């Protein structure tokens, strides 16, 4: 089979896979780039703002991708056979 006929595994196929990827990218950017917008010595619950920002988005990132990942597992036909 020619390379062009092979499915490209980098491209998400289902809605849940697309949502997983979109959520992943948004949260990643919020931690990676967004941190420079909150780089002030301000306490939030007694903790530095940057720290709370990163941890907060990290948690949102994990929860969202866990939700979408479980949806992907549910619709995966290879799991139906087990």
Alpha-carbon separation of residue 28 from 17, 20, 55, 79 (angstroms): 16, 12, 12, 29
Q: Is residue 31 part of the contact set for another protein (CB under 8 A)?
A: yes
Q: Is residue 37 part of the contact set for another protein (CB under 8 A)?
A: no
Which distant-in-sequence residues (6+ apart) come within 8 Å of 50 by Cβ? 35, 38, 39
Which of the residues 50 through 69 are near another protein (CB under 8 A)? 50-51, 53-55, 57-59, 61-62, 65-66, 69
List of residues contacting another protein (CB under 8 A): 1, 3-4, 6-10, 13, 24, 27-28, 31-33, 35-36, 39-41, 43, 45-48, 50-51, 53-55, 57-59, 61-62, 65-66, 69-70, 73, 76-79, 82
């Amino acid at each position: 089979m020619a390379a062009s006929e092979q499915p490209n595994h980098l491209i998400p196929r289902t809605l849940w896979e697309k949502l997983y990827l979109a959520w992943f990218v948004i949260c990643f950017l919020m931690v990676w780039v967004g941190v420079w917008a909150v780089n002030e010595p301000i306490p939030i619950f007694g903790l530095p703002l940057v720290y709370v920002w990163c941890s907060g988005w990290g948690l949102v990132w994990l929860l969202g991708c866990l939700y979408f990942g479980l949806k992907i597992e549910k619709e995966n036909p290879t799991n139906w056979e087990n």
